[in-house]
Structure 1
Amino acid sequence: MEYKHDIFAPVYKRLKVPATKDNFTIKYDDGSMLNMASDLFTLIRSFSIESPNPTVYRRAIQGKPGATVTGRDLNERQIRVVCELYALNEVDYTLAEKELYKALYKDAEFYIVQDAMPTRQWRVTVDEAFTPTQEGSTAEFTITFTVSSGFAESIGALDDPQTFDYDWSFADNMPLYEDFSYTHSTRSFPIYNLGDVTLDPNNAPVYQIFYTGASNGLTIENRTTGDVWRYSGTTRTGDTLVIDTVFARVNGLPVTDLTNWADLRFAPGRNDIRITGTSGSFEIKFDFRFLYF
């Protein structure tokens, strides 16, 4: 961490705050990161994740006892973190407090990654103010993060090998004894959703499908969910068709109006995919981030 006034830097470099199992790192959209213990001199005493927060819809039917469940929404949830800020003296405390505020409020949204679960990240906002209770050169406080989506996201990208060295683990629903891939050149293959939640263009933080090759009336069917996506146009050898959430492009040009506007969903676990309308050799690649409770 760099400081405008170099006179303070040696003081901070000598300050060591232990990282508990509940310690976490802040990840910003520009790729920069700050660790609560080593960068912000904050001891994390607890990291409490609220359970999923459902709204259940019911309808009473005349002449039938009770009510019938007609649907459910999963709402935003909160993470409450109990912290203790450390400094070497009261002057240093003032500087450390300002750095903490800057870290938490400089962006409207950012990710946090708990040391205890390094393969998942939470997209959060800080919606509430908090007032540290200062005693000398330390202070206690509680941060309340809001997770607007209600879910954690996978950190590992689908381009990364599915190994322990690339932010994946069996805690992330990796199937045992299965050789699975997200790039294929055959017309039938499985796609695994390693998350806890069905993925669709409306909820996935990253949702893209890339088809490269010639085609006429390309159709992608998920036999597991029953969803069918169709493109009534054609592509040539070397062309790339991209499905980006609900939109489609061929070589960067929009072609959504030539599709059936269908959502391709991917249920948790194995999804059996079939492709028709291909011509010659082709490659299809899937890029998702998975969602977890």
Structure 2
Amino acid sequence: MDFSKPRLFAKVDGHDFDFDEMNGLHFLELRTTAPQTRTSLQTNDFQDGSKQQGPILYGSRTVAADFYFEATDLYDFELASQEIWRRLYSRSLIELRWSRMPGIKMLVIAKPFETTRLNWGDMKFTVEFDMPAGYRQSLAKSDQMQFIYEDELAQIGMNLPNGEDLAYHFKQTRFKVYNPSDVVIDPYYQRHDLDIIIKGQGAPTITNLTNNYGIALNRALTANDTLIWNGVRPLLNGASCERATNHGHLQLEKGWNDISVTGLSNIDITFSFPFLYL
């Protein structure tokens, strides 16, 4: 990819496009605001200062993209405006990424914007996007990264350890899962995306020895079964099986997580989650 000129890419309703492929449109720069913290401060009439109640949370933030457009005539100007609106506005979140951070995407919503006419045909404008989640995420999930590790899906700045081939598919009773995110992957309180796909024979118990979170199925799997722990929701062959579990969930700390598996033979376990970045 040519990094001499920044390029902006988007996926809207399943369709990918490069903004610079539109005749006359030039993407100039992308600016992202710093993380926005949300506090819950409690004051006491008899004490100085305030005390934070519970964890500090991250609120939504904004991303701004600067553009310049050169029209060939007045009709081209109006047609371009309509095309830009068509590309930017959707009933679903837009997937936005740019050439300087090709492995990281932002899920955003375009806000209304005004154009500044520089002459009869040229204009410049800035589009501001809301990023509701408050953090960015990897373009691919963890289990996809291991197969295309040297592709654009992995880049500098994603906290990936040097010289180590990360694995997220395991057949052992003891293994380590690396979470390069800037935050703990927490499917319970934060509703983070985490799928644990389990195959084998027996009644599995999977424990993160790093933080003592664990999941367990109280009935035996057969060779034809697939158990998916979708966040906090266990699904056996696509059907809910929560009554046959310990009602637990796994949480991945930042960095390495030491995982233990008991009660299962012919182990085949996959950890699938996007990496999250501030």
- Please indicate, yes or no, whether the TM-score normalized by the shorter chain is above 0.5: yes
Counterpart Cα distance in 1 of 2:24 and 2:197: 44
| Structure 2 SS opposite 1:211 | strand
Matches within 5 A, 1:40-55: 41-55=24-38
Per-residue CA deviations over 1:137-175 (Å, capped at 9, x if unaligned) read: 211111110000001110133224252225112421111
Matched, 1:141 2:129: no
- Contact between 2:8 and 2:98, CA under 8 Å: does it hold in 1? yes
Query: 2:41 corresponds to which residue?
Result: 58
Residues 136/254 of structure 1: CA separation in 2 closer, same or farther (3 Å cut): same
- Residue of structure 2 in register with 1:209 after alignment: 196
1:38 matched to 2:11:
no
Q: Does the alignment pair 1:254 with 2:240? A: yes
Instruction: Confirm whether residue 244 of structure 1 aligns to residue 227 of structure 2.
Output: no
Q: 1:119 — aligned with what?
A: 103
1:271 to 251, 257, 261: 257
Of 49, 52, 64, the match for 1:69 = 52
Q: CA deviation at 1:88?
A: 1.8
Shift in alpha-carbon separation, 1:196–1:129, aligned structure 2, 3 A: same
Instruction: Please provide the CA RMSD for this pair.
Output: 2.1
What amino acid is aligned across from residue 28 of structure 1 in structure 2?
Answer: V
Amino acid corresponding to residue 187 of structure 1 in structure 2: T
Q: How does 1:96-135 map to 2 (within 5 A)?
A: 96-126=80-110, 128-134=111-117, 135=119
**Matched-pair identity in %:** 23
SS in 2 for 1:155: strand
Aligned length: 272
Report if the CA contact (8 A) 1:211-1:240 is conserved: yes
- TM-score (norm. length: structure 2): 0.90
Worse overlay, 253-262 or 139-148? 253-262
Q: Is the 8 A contact 1:19 1:37 kept in 2?
A: no
**What runs of 5+ residues in structure 2 fail to find an aligned partner?**
none
Aligned to 1:249, what secondary structure does the other structure show? strand
1:167 lines up with 2:153 in the alignment: yes
Question: Contact 2:13–2:90 at 8 Å: present in 1 too?
Answer: no
1:190 to 1:168, Cα distance in 2 relative to 1, 3 A: same
Contact 1:34 1:40 (8 Å CA) reproduced: no
Amino acid at match of 2:149: T
**Matched-pair contact (CA < 8 Å) for 1:27–1:33:** yes
Matched residue, 1:198 = 184
Segments of 4+ moved more than 3 angstroms: 18-22, 60-65, 202-206
**TM-score, with structure 1 as normaliser:** 0.86
Find the aligned partners of 1:37 and 1:107 in 2 and give their Cα distance: 23
| Inter-partner Cα distance in structure 1 for 2:260 and 2:50 | 40
1:201-227 per-residue CA deviation (whole Å, 9 max, x = no partner) reads: 2546642111111122x2111112221
